[in-house]
Structure formats: C-alpha cells, structure tokens
C-alpha cells in the first residue's frame, strides 16, 4: 500500500490506472459515551480497511493508494457533547464531491471509501457523492459496508448473526456492539472502570430517528444500549461476519461488476429518512 501523503505525483502517475485503487477512511469525530473514544467509528473503519486490503493487493495484485482520511462528517445526535463535531449533510456532500472529483479528474478511476458510521443521513450523503462523481467522470467509486449491519438490525437478526444474547434489543449507539468492537480492536482505549457501572439504556432503532440529540434520551451520557454486556468476542464476530460480506462485494467490484445496489441502504429506510 502506498501512503499518498508520503508519495510524489510521479509515484502515483507511474502506476497504470488499471493497477491502482484509491482507499480512504471516512468517519466522525463523535462522542461514544463516557467509556469509548471519539474515534470509535474511525478505528472500526480502519479495521475494515485492513480486512479488504488482502483482496486488493494479494488476490487481485493491485496497488492500494491510501488517501488522507476525512474525520469530520455529519454526526447530528452528538453535536451537543464537548469535542464532538457534526458537519451539515449538504456541506459534507459538496466537500466530498470536490475531493473525489479531484482524484477522478486526474485519472484515478477506482476508489473504495471505508466507513463504519451507521447513521443513515451520513451513509446516504457519502453514497450520493460517489454516485455524482461516478456519473460526472465515468469512474467507479464505492463506499461503506454499513448496509450489512443495518440490514441485520432492520430484520431483527443481529443477535443470532453475531452470537450475543437475543433479548438485548435497542442497542443503537456506543452500546454492546460498538463497545465490543472497540474491546476487540483497541481495548486500551476502553474505560473499563466506567463501563462496568453503566446501566442498560436501550432505544428502539425506529424511535431514534425522532431524536435531535442523545442528550434527550436515558441518562444523557451519550450511549444507547447495553455497553456493560459487551465482550470482545462479539466484536470479533462483527468483523468476521461483515468483513466477509464486504470482501465479497469488493471482489466483485474489482472484477468489474456494478455493486452499488449491494451497498445502498434506501430500501431499508423508512420514508422519513429518505429525504
């Protein structure tokens, strides 16, 4: 993998476009309760990127070019917490289009944006930006694996799919799953003393769309779900299950297939979130 920040333009130009794929992590600087770091979604996206790199480099013998990440995106429900950042959806979309268009205009025809921020307005904005650049420049940029966990949540199959207790419904933000993911990939960043004291504060996934701030639910500490029930093995199951799904889509993408519908989330959303 080539780090774009340490490369020269001639380094990039020397790689035939058919042999290179741009990869970029995109995620929020967002609070995740009193027990998890602001970079929770970012670390999860980096783990997913790590899992698809062998598909790009070892299986298809391509060169991955890692672009600088984008760490400021829409994160509306957390914007009232000190340190959290939320960019307005339309501003983010326009900004991302400019970034992607710069790569596309200079001959990079394939790019994979990797994110782990399962927030429907964000997912729709990033996918819309990719689609716009694809249409304007004739390139093939794709983003995210969020559809897969979102589909499990909507279908009510998350527990059976990931091996955690089936009665823990309403785990939405900084709860069991995001805590488990961080326990698995960055246990050094989990405040275990705080985690053990957190009470369950579930909220139905459909109900959270009516919220304007996580300050207005439960204790207001910024988490929704069952963080104290998290175990690192649940995080291991998460990355194995969704990593395999994402790897399969990336493989088909690199084989020349149009996989955008496999990653789109519109068919999973209520009408109120499609605006």
The per-residue pLDDT string of the chain (275 residues; one tens digit each, 9 = 90 and over) reads 999 999 999 999 999 999 999 999 999 999 999 999 999 999 999 999 999 999 999 999 999 999 999 999 999 999 999 999 999 999 999 999 999 999 999 999 999 999 999 999 999 999 999 999 999 999 999 999 999 999 998 888 888 888 888 888 889 899 999 999 999 999 999 999 999 999 999 987 667 777 889 999 999 999 999 999 999 999 999 999 999 999 999 999 999 999 999 999 988 876 645 55
Q: In 3D, which of 178, 176, 167, 126 has the Cα closest to residue 147?
A: 126
By three-state DSSP, how is residue 60 classified?
coil
pTM: 0.95
Q: In 3D, which of 148, 125, 141 has the Cα closest to residue 237?
A: 148
Edge-to-edge strand order for the sheet containing 63-66? 2-3, 63-66, 20-25, 110-114, 140-143
What 8-state DSSP symbol labels residue 32? B
Map out the domains of the chain with their CATH numbers.
Answer: 2-258 (3.40.50.10310)
Q: CA 31 to CA 78: how far, in whole Å?
A: 6
Q: CA 100 to CA 111: how far, in whole Å?
A: 9
For 35, list phi and psi in degrees, rounded to 5: -115, -15
Q: In 3D, which of 220, 169, 216, 167 has the Cα closest to residue 198?
A: 220
Could you report the per-residue pLDDT of 205-238, keeping only the tens digit for each? 667 777 889 999 999 999 999 999 999 999 999 9
| Cβ-proximal residues to 237 (8 Å cutoff; 6+ apart), any chain | 161, 162, 163, 164
Strands 63-66 and 2-3 come out as parallel
Q: CA 238 to CA 244: how far, in whole Å?
A: 10
Could you report the per-residue pLDDT of 171-210, keeping only the tens digit for each? 989 999 999 999 999 999 999 999 999 999 998 766 777 7
């Amino acid at each position: 993998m080539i780090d774009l920040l340490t490369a020269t333009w001639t380094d990039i130009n020397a790689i035939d476009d058919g042999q290179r794929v741009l990869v970029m992590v995109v995620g929020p600087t967002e609070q995740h309760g009193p027990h998890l770091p602001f970079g929770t979604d970012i670390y999860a996206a980096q783990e997913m990127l790590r899992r698809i790199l062998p598909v790009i480099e070892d299986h298809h013998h391509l060169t991955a070019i890692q672009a600088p990440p984008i760490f400021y995106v829409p994160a509306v429900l957390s914007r009232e917490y000190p340190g959290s950042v939320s960019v307005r959806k339309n501003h983010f979309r326009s900004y991302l289009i400019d970034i992607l268009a710069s790569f596309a205009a200079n001959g990079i025809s394939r790019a994979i944006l990797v994110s782990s921020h399962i927030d429907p307005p964000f997912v729709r904005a990033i996918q819309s930006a990719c689609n716009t650049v694809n249409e304007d420049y004739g390139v093939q940029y794709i983003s995210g694996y969020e559809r897969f966990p979102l589909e499990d949540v909507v279908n009510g199959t998350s527990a059976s799919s990931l091996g955690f207790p089936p009665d823990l419904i309403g785990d939405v933000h900084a709860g069991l799953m995001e805590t488990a993911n961080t326990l698995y990939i960055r246990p050094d960043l989990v405040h275990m003393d705080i985690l053990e004291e957190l009470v369950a504060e579930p909220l139905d996934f459909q109900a959270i769309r009516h919220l304007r701030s996580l300050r207005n639910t439960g204790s207001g500490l910024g988490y929704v779900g069952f963080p104290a029930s998290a175990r690192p093995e649940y995080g291991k199951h998460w990355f194995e299950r969704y990593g395999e799904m994402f790897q399969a889509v990336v493989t088909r993408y690199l084989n020349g297939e149009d996989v955008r519908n496999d990653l789109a989330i519109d068919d999973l959303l209520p009408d109120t979130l499609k605006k």
